[in-house]
Each structure stands twice: as C-alpha cells, then as structure tokens.
C-alpha cells in the first residue's frame, strides 16, 4: 500500500479522522467506474496536449501509465492505497507513481466535472446493456406469443380479476411486449439526457486555461456539450431520469410477476414452471414456488425507493456541486443491477414455462364470458345496445337464480334463438373480436407481425 496522503492534504496540517474517511470515501462503490474514469482522463490529456498544456512526451507517458492502471484494475492486481478516497484519486495517484508527468493530469479539471462525466458514461453504458437485456425478454415473450397463436390457445381476459371475455393467449403475452417496448423508449429518453459532456466545467466555473471541452466531448463520443458550467457540475437529472425509467420498468415487471404467480397457483393452474426456474420448500415436499416471479414483483419496491431517495437527496441542494451528490452512484448501480438480474431470470422463466391449455381454455369457455357477444348479436339485428345489454343481463340473472343453463334460455328467447346459442359453444368466442388491436386471432396475427418488425429493428 502507498502512503496515506490525500489529493488535497496540502491545505491541511493534520490527517483526516477515521470516521471522516469511513463516511466520506466513495471508493468502495465508485471503483466500478474505473473504465469510464480512465476513458475521461485519456480524452482530457489528449486535449491538454492539443492546446499546448502538455508536450507529446508527457502525453505518451501519461497514456502509457493510464493503460497500466486500467490493466491492473481489470486484472484485480491494483494495489489500492489508504489514501484512495475515490476512483478518481486512485487512478491519478497510481498514474503519478508510474510517471511524474501524470502530476499534470488534473490541469484544468476538477473532480466535480470529472465525476459528473464518469457517471454520464456509466449511465449510457448501463442503458445500452439494459436495453439489450430487455429486448431479449421482449423477444422471448414474442416467440411464446407466436407459438400460442399457432396452437390457437385462448384464455379468459380479466377485468377486476373477474373473467371478462376470451382472448388469444398471444394477445395477453403481447401486451407485455408493448409495455416493455415503452420502457425501451423511456430508457432512450434517459440516454439522450445523459449524453452531454460536462468535462471542462471545472470545479464550477470553467477554467482560466485554454482548454477545449468540445474536443473532449468528441473524443468520448458525446452528442452534446454542456452550456453552463454551474449547471454542468450540479446536474444529476439524468440519474433521476434513469431511476424513473427503471422504476416504471420495475412496475411492469412487478405486474407480470404477480400474474405469473397467479397463473402458477393451483387455483388458476394456467402455467407449469420449469424446474430450473422454480424453487421448493424446505418443509413442504409438495411445493413448487414461483420465486423468480415473486422477486420480480418485489424488486419494484427498491427501484421506486432508489428513485424517491435520490430525488429527495437532490431536493433543496444549492448550486453547484455538493457532497450530497456522491449519493447518486449507489442507487444508480443498485437499480441497474437489480433490473438486469431480474430481467435475465424472467426471460429464462418465460422461455421454459409450459402452458396448461385445458385449464386456460375451460376457464374461458364459461358461457357467461359470451354475454357481450349475445348483446352484440342483438345489436347486429338493430336492437339498441342498452336494450340488448338489459336483455342478456336478465337471462344471466335468471340462469344463475334458477340454476338453468344459459344456453337453454338463449335458445328459448324469441330475439335470440338457436343461432345465438351457437355463440355459447366451446371456443367459439376466441376469434370474434378482430377489430383493430383486438383479442381475436386475426387481429392478433396482424399485431404480432407489427411487433416482430419492431423487435427486429431493436437488433
Ligand atoms: N467522490 C466524489 C463524488 O462521487 C467525487 C467528487 C468530489 N469532489 C469534491 N469536491 N470533493 O461525488
């Protein structure tokens, strides 16, 4: 280990207390941004050389040192020093040990613009990787939907968790695809907000040196450059944007998780979980538990917590950088890691689960699920919908009260009769609602074609 001097010890007579270091150091969690930090330093020193603040020999030495630092960190060989309070300090300290030229590395830069830029690069990288992971889940749902449509599987659609109207299973699965596609859009919005270079803002006010922030932005591949140095070092909106996107995604995952739990229960019995994606009970030998779906449901809590926690941290902060902003990283990392783990497990679960076709379809075949179709039958014959609704509702009431089969009542009814009674036949409701975006097989086939196009474009 190297000595215990901090970057800023020159101003101080005594060393920092242990308690201060324990609270203040961010190295335990920000070391995971070492690649982004080193990339930022490479771009920065290249710019320093271009504007004449470093000579070419110094630049080469610093770049070489940065390569070594990166390699050591990558391979877990890096000798962390007592004085390394954060990743920025550690990289610069080690580079300076490797070459004295690195003492010029921090010219025209502050950790305030440096850290903001690092976190922006992290956010962009995470968004790109999470988008891929999410696209894989959408792909899995879509291919199960295509399979379900081919197998002509239908199930009850629900409102108020009461059986409502039969729909294609493909329709139900595709609904989640659309939710997750919106999440990809939201992640894209957060990415645009993160995609702004802020290196060159200095501690808060820019620099008296002839630095060229645009060059750094271009080198790092950012689309935009900050306009106001105060805003640049104080702004963490992009972190909140990402945490929000991940919270909405978390809510979607949670809703799907709940549905999978219901479907896997013996009460519904709509799906059979693969052994590799379910768990058992230590006491009850008969149990097969949907833990992945439950965790998917539960993780929304911490995702929303990370968002509200970090918004609360920022609330009331005066311009510009305040140490409170160091609190941006842990929720960001945690939300990204949480979503990634959950999505991967859910994708495996979706890919491998079995459909209990008989249970789904017999639940959908309840004659009462055809009540709206009976009303529509009357509407097609000129009966105002309100009157049709009342007629069918009366038959349903009578059927329940007298324990008479609805089909008998329909057959006997003068405005309905045998033709209408056919609407109550097993499976006859599944392909009836083919209006745009509807749950019938024809409409669903068109929908899946559109989805495949969109999912294909993601790749
Ligand atoms: N570790 C700090 C953070 O994460 C880096 C910036 C420190 N800046 C400062 N002026 N102390 O925010």
Q: What is the CATH number of the domain that holds 41?
A: 1.10.275.10
pLDDT band at residue 2 under the 50/70/90 scheme: very low
pLDDT at 447: 97
Cα distances (Å, whole numbers) of residue 331 to 47, 116, 298:
32, 15, 17
pLDDT at 5 (0 to 100): 67
Q: Which domain holds residue 297?
A: 114-152+167-362
248 and 387 share one domain: no
- Classify 206 in phi/psi space as left (phi over 0), alpha (psi -120 to 50) or beta: left
Q: Is 106 a catalytic residue?
A: no
Evaluate whether residue 394 is within a structural domain. yes
Q: CA 128 to CA 192: how far, in whole Å?
A: 12
- 109, part of any domain: no
- Cβ–ligand 1 distance for 360 under 6 Å, the answer no
Q: What is the mean pLDDT of residues 7-33?
A: 89
Q: Whose CA is nearest to atom 2 of ligand 1?
A: 326
Q: Can you tell me whether residue 382 is helix, strand or coil?
A: coil
Counting atoms of ligand 1 from 1, which one is nearest the CA of 87? 1
Lowest-confidence segment of 61-65, 210-214, 433-437 by average pLDDT: 433-437
Instruction: Identify the sign of the CA torsion 74, 331, 291, 160.
Output: negative
Q: What is the DSSP letter of 284?
A: -
Q: Are residues 221 and 258 in the same domain?
A: yes
pLDDT surpasses 60 at 242: yes
What's the pLDDT band for 128 if we cut at 50, 70, 90? very high
Q: Please give the mean pLDDT across all residues of the chain.
A: 95
Question: Domains in the chain: how many in total?
Answer: 3
pLDDT-derived band of residue 1, with 50, 70 and 90 as boundaries? very low
Indicate if 312 and 380 belong to the same structural domain: no
Q: What percent of the chain has pLDDT over 90?
A: 88
Residue 2 lies in a domain: no
Structure tokens at 194: 């993160």
Residues 128 and 207 in one domain: yes
197: β partners: 225
> How far apart are the C-alpha atoms of 79 and 93, rounded to whole Å?
11
**Within-domain flag for 204:** yes
Residue closest by Cα to atom 3 of ligand 1: 326
Residues 243, 179 share a domain: yes
What mean pLDDT do residues 26-43 have? 98
Domain boundary among 66, 81, 104: 104
Question: Are 411 and 271 members of one domain?
Answer: no
Least confident interval from 67-71, 420-424, 448-452 = 420-424
Query: CA–CA separation, 277 vs 444, rounded Å?
Result: 29
Asked if the model's pLDDT at residue 428 lies above 90, the reply is no
**Ligand 1: which residue has its CA nearest to atom 4?**
326
Average pLDDT, integer, range 121-136:
98
Ligand 1 centroid, distance to 299 Cα (angstroms)? 29
Nearest to 298 by CA among 336, 267, 244, 258: 258
Token output for 82: 């007592």
Residue 411 φ then ψ, to 5°: -60, -40
Residue 304, pLDDT above cutoff 50: yes
Q: What is the pLDDT of residue 284?
A: 80
**322 CA to middle of ligand 1, Å?**
8
- Whether the bond between 27 and the residue before it is cis, its omega within 30 degrees of 0, is no
CA distance linking residue 386 with residue 357, whole number of Å: 35
| pLDDT confidence band for 4 (50 / 70 / 90) | low
Instruction: Note if 160 is an active site residue.
Output: yes
pLDDT (average), residues 320-337? 98
How much is the average pLDDT of 122-133?
Answer: 98
Domain termination residue (choose one: 329, 362, 395): 362
């Amino acid at each position: 280990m190297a000595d215990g001097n901090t970057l800023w010890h020159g101003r101080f007579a005594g060393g920092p207390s242990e308690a201060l270091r324990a609270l203040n150091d961010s190295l335990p969690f920000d070391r995971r941004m070492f690649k982004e930090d080193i990339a930022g330093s490479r771009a920065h020193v290249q710019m320093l050389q271009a504007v004449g603040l470093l000579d070419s020999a110094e630049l080469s030495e610093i770049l070489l040192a940065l390569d070594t630092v990166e390699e050591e960190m990558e391979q877990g060989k890096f000798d962390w020093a007592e004085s390394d309070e954060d990743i920025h300090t550690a990289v610069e300290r080690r580079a300076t040990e490797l070459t004295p030229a690195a003492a010029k590395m921090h010219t025209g830069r502050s950790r305030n613009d440096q850290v903001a830029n690092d976190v922006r690069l992290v956010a962009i990288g995470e968004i790109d990787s999470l988008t891929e992971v999410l696209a894989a889940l959408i792909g899995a749902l879509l291919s199960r939907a295509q399979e379900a449509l081919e197998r002509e599987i239908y199930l009850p659609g629900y409102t108020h968790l009461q059986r409502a109207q039969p729909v294609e299973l493909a329709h139900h699965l595709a609904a989640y695809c659309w939710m997750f596609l919106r999440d990809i859009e939201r992640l894209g919005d957060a990415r645009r907000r993160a995609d702004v270079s802020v290196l060159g803002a200095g501690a808060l006010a820019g620099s008296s040196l002839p630095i060229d922030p645009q060059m750094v932005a271009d080198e790092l591949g950012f689309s935009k450059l900050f306009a106001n140095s105060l805003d640049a070092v104080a702004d963490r909106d992009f972190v909140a944007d990402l945490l929000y996107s991940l919270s909405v995604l978390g809510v979607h995952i949670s809703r799907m998780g709940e549905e999978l739990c219901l479907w896997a229960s013996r009460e519904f019995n709509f799906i059979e979980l693969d052994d590799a994606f379910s768990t058992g009970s230590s006491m009850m030998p008969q149990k097969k538990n949907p833990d992945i779906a439950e965790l998917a449901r539960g993780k929304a809590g911490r995702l929303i917590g990370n968002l509200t926690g970090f918004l609360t941290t920022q609330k009331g902060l005066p311009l510009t950088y305040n140490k409170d902003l160091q609190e941006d990283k842990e929720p960001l990392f945690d939300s990204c890691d949480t979503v990634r783990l959950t999505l991967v497990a859910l994708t495996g679960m979706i890919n491998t689960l079995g459909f209990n076709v008989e249970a789904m379809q017999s639940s959908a075949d309840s004659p009462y699920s055809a009540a709206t179709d009976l009303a529509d039958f009357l509407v097609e014959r000129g009966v105002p919908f309100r009157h049709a609704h009342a007629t069918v509702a009366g038959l349903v009431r009578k059927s329940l009260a007298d324990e008479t089969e609805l089909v008998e009542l329909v057959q006997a009814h003068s405005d309905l009769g045998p033709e209408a009674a056919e609407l109550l036949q097993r499976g006859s409701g599944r392909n009836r609602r083919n209006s745009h975006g509807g749950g019938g097989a024809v409409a669903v086939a068109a929908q899946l074609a559109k989805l495949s196009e969109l999912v294909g474009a993601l790749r």
